[in-house]
Amino acid sequence: MHPFTGFALLPPLLLLTLRLTDARALAALLVVLLVLVWMGGEHRVRLRRWALLMLPLAAGLWLVHGRYLDSLVFGADVADRPQRLYAAALLWLRVGCLLAGAQVALRLAPPARLTRALFASRLPPSVAYLLASPLLLSVQLRRRLAEVTEAQRARGVDPAAPWPQRARTLIALAGPLVVWTLSDVGERANALDARAFRSVPCRTTLDAPAFTARDRALLAAALAAFVLVAGSWLWR
Amino acid sequence: MALIRFAQASLTRAGATAPCLSCIDFALPAGQTLAVVGGSGSGKSTLAGWLAGWVPHALPATEAGVAEFDGAPLSGALPAVRAGQVQLVQGNPYAALTGCAFTVYDEVAFGPENLGLCEEEIRARCREALALCDAEALAVRAPSTLSGGEAQRVALACALAMRPRLLLLDEAFNRLTPAAADRLLERLRVLPMLTLVLFEKSFERAAGADLMLWLDGGVQRACAEAGVLFDRVLPALTASDAVRAAWRSRAADLWRDGVAAPCSAADALTRFAEVADG
Amino acid sequence: MAEPVLSFEQVGYGWDGAPPLLASLSLTVAAGECVALVGANGAGKSTLLRLACGLLAPSDGRVSAGGLDTRLARPSALARVAGMMFQEAERQLCCGRVRDEVAFAPRLGGLSATEVKRRTARALEATALASHADAHPFDLNAGERRLLTLAALIAQDVPLMLLDEPTRDFDAVQLALFEAWLAREKSAGRAILLISHDYDFVARNCPRVLHLAGGGVIADGPPEQVLHDPALQGDSPGAAPTLPALCRAIGLPPTTDAACFDAAWRVACERRAALSKSRGEA
């Protein structure tokens, strides 16, 4: 499957989550999406990432929309609390659906293939590089952080120290990472130049992900779904 | 005709008043090997960058005198355009990684891909470059996980895949074992149509070149064959103990006229034997 | 004998899913010893150093540095007994000024400002970096940057120093500086374990050499003996260490000491000159 195809499923999903106004229907959709995430590779990481965003969001929405602060501090009238909380729940479910959908799409597009697809696309190479750079950078930054941590541990920085000490640790670790990343920018530009990046308008891409009949069918299905949901909305 | 020609050339970094390189004066015919030698901070890497076409885009500086590559001015062209002709492999191999690849093979292929070559040609180049650098086994590895020595092989393979006419090796083998470095250098020397410039602080690695250029504090002190420069240049460079013993013997007048200075440890054994037996 | 500064007892180590890199490896390094670790690329030399300073924990056996079990000790405690110079100098630099970089470990160790200052000054002087004290580490050349990592180690002032390819970036002058420092530290009782591919350097400075191969130490002894292994030698006949090889080739007593060689060579030359002169007279 072409890495871009997965992302084509997101617009109809967005529309669908906006269209559904019943919490139970949204919850069902969310469960389906989470099961899809769970079925794919690296599901532990992906689900944790989803939870790390969604749980604090739930707490925030509950505090703000439930008007607990208002009622406690100012004694505000909170008779409409259930309605407000229901609206917040709908919002939370929508965001959750979209994030889960994005995780599904990302699973269909591993970074290596997505980068390749970007470079093989009709986008100018510089734009492709710009779009791909978050994918490329995260791998490198993680690696660098591991190296910096190791070097600093050898000098007595304790990554597992209690919190007050850890603040100092973080500074000791963040410093080299920032310095490195900055010094890297020039180095990276030189490396790209040295490999004739953007020297000719049309570059070749080895093993460019092919856009198959299946991708076309899925894209058509996504488009059809989009039209269908939009149509049903307008019809009402 | 000379591929590289410098005549009383000097380079001044933007914002500086004194030149960082001066009195650069030599000509290198295509297919030959030049070794630029000097200690730390002698200006080798700056000269390497200048030859790689970094001036003025990647190395803001102004030049004076004549500095030509293939009959055209060395500086001014866009570095990306020059990349098909000239390749620089730096001492820090991680600087060569573009970060655009998830495997070593992709990293090596990245340059030829940018040249817009056909797929078969790119694959042929990658195969050849990886084989020459003994890096086939690394092809599937992620570039960021390579050790220093491995990364150095890959950096060289990346440069070779561009099929440059001029290859600049700025201490490009310092993370390899001496034996592995010598083997690689030997393979590069016999590649047809390739002009090599080595930047070294090791006398012996440099001594195999056709011509040796000695930089000291950014100034070209001399340019001649290694044997001719031996007595003057050795104190500034690293060398094996046997070669250094030969230098001390020559300085102390315990040498025989007519016996040449050694250019390697193995050579030192023969030369000393010649002096002793002769 | 006093307790060794570093000891490996039946240590095994392997990366996840790979065959073990080191297996039942035992070794000790005593105070005042300068030991070289040699072996092919990928033999596990750098891994051994990481185990020695506790950056990696052994999968089997026990590593102790300065009497501390590396598996149990905290990094702050380990940093007081063992210091490491990494192969890539850039990876361990973290401050914007040379002076701060050198002072990093002593400051972290909670030393007084005057003590930090004293140690920093001493380390900068020993590495001839005093004139660069306010420069940015990235503005130094490769050799100076390596000296800076050495200065940081000197300021850390640990009984055990682990150096991964310390001489690689040095030119002749910097190498001489480094060897002078090494000689002083050896006589001061510091334990040093270093990795090097420069066998002449090893022969000059390390009375004991360990050859690491196949997951263990396959040879442990004086440089002349250990380095002679064909697996360590290149293809050239001028086998390293080159000075003893030269001595054997021209019939002088083998030595790694330049002054000894020079004296022997001078005597040989004078004898030959006298011989040819007497022949000429005859």
Examine the fold and report which residue of B163, B186, B211 is the final residue of a domain before the chain moves on: B163
| Structure-token pair, residue A143 | 């690696």
Q: Does pLDDT of C282 surpass 80?
A: no
B184 and B270, same domain (yes or no): yes
C246/B39 touch (CB, cutoff 8 Å), yes or no: no
C15 and C59, same domain (yes or no): yes
B273 and B258, same domain (yes or no): yes
Q: Is B145 on the interface with A (CB under 8 A)?
A: yes
B42 and B170, same domain (yes or no): yes
Q: Distance between CA atoms of C206 and C186, rounded to whole angstroms? A: 10
Most confident of A199-203, A212-216, C150-154, C235-239: C150-154
B49 burial level (CB within 10 Å; 0-12, 13-18, 19+): buried
**Nearest by CB to B174, which of C90, C168, C265?**
C168
Q: Is B129 on the interface with A (CB under 8 A)?
A: no
Of B59, B76, B65, B40, which is closest to residue B170 (Cα–Cα)? B40
**How many structural domains are present in chain C?**
3
Domain that holds residue C145: 98-153
C51 and C164, same domain (yes or no): yes
Nearest residue of C to residue B180 by CA position? C234
B206 and B238, same domain (yes or no): yes
Q: Kindly report, residue by residue over B177-197, the tens digit of the pLDDT.
A: 888 898 999 999 999 889 999
Could you list the mean pLDDT of each consecutive 10-residue stretch along chain A, which spans 236 residues? 87 90 92 90 88 93 84 78 90 94 87 89 88 80 84 85 74 74 82 92 89 91 91 83
**Residue A76's CB: how many other CB atoms inside 10 A?**
11
| B182 assigned to some structural domain | yes
C35 and C51, same domain (yes or no): yes
Of A134, A175, A136, which is closest to residue A152 (Cα–Cα)? A175
| C76 assigned to some structural domain | yes
Reported as type and span, the H/E element at residue C11 is: strand C6-13
- C-alpha dihedral over C166, C171, C172, C176, to 10 degrees? -40
Examine the fold and report which residue of B144, B163, B182 is the final residue of a domain before the chain moves on: B163
Nearest residue of B to residue C143 by CA position? B40
**Nearest by CB to C92, which of A151, A158, A179?**
A151
* Cα-based angle A58, A63, A69 (whole degrees, multiple of 5): 170
Q: Is the preceding peptide bond at C222 cis, omega within 30 degrees of 0?
A: no
- Confidence class for position B273, pLDDT limits 50, 70, 90: very high
C109 and C43, same domain (yes or no): no
A158/C74 touch (CB, cutoff 8 Å), yes or no: yes
Q: A62 in helix, strand or coil?
A: helix
C173/B39 touch (CB, cutoff 8 Å), yes or no: yes
C73 and C5, same domain (yes or no): yes
DSSP symbol at B25: E
B193 and B242, same domain (yes or no): yes
Least confident range from B80-84, B246-250, C161-165: namely: B80-84
Domain boundaries of chain A, sorted by first residue: 3-113+209-235, 123-194
Reported as type and span, the H/E element at residue A7 is: helix A3-8
B99/A188 touch (CB, cutoff 8 Å), yes or no: yes
Q: Kindly report, residue by residue over C50-93, the tens digit of the pLDDT.
A: 999 999 999 999 999 999 999 999 999 999 999 999 988 877 88
B213 and B241, same domain (yes or no): yes
| C147 assigned to some structural domain | yes
B262 and B171, same domain (yes or no): yes
The pLDDT > 70 percentage for chain B reads 100
| B217 assigned to some structural domain | yes
B149 and B239, same domain (yes or no): no
C143 and C169, same domain (yes or no): no
B184 and B261, same domain (yes or no): yes
A204/B113 touch (CB, cutoff 8 Å), yes or no: yes
- Note the pTM of the prediction, 2 decimals: 0.90
| C86 assigned to some structural domain | no
C53 and C171, same domain (yes or no): yes
CATH code at position C25 = 3.40.50.300
DSSP symbol at B238: B
B106 and B221, same domain (yes or no): no
Q: Are C148 and C93 in contact (CB under 8 A)?
A: yes
Q: Distance between CA atoms of A225 and A213, rounded to whole angstroms? A: 18
C77 and C4, same domain (yes or no): yes
Q: Distance between CA atoms of B56 and A233, rounded to whole angstroms? A: 60
User: Which backbone phi and psi does C27 adopt, to 5 degrees?
Assistant: -165, 160
B100 and B233, same domain (yes or no): no
Domain that holds residue B169: 30-59+72-85+165-277
| C92 assigned to some structural domain | no
| C89 assigned to some structural domain | no
C216 and C255, same domain (yes or no): no
C267 and C149, same domain (yes or no): no
C165 and C77, same domain (yes or no): yes
Q: Kindly report, residue by residue over B51-88, the tens digit of the pLDDT.
A: 999 999 999 999 999 999 999 999 988 889 999 999 99
Give start and end residues of each alpha helix (H) in chain C: 45-52, 75-78, 98-108, 113-126, 142-156, 172-187, 199-205, 223-226, 242-249, 258-281
Q: Are B162 and A195 in contact (CB under 8 A)?
A: yes
Q: Distance between CA atoms of C117 and A156, rounded to whole angstroms? A: 19
C7 and C76, same domain (yes or no): yes
* Cα-based angle B169, B174, B179 (whole degrees, multiple of 5): 100
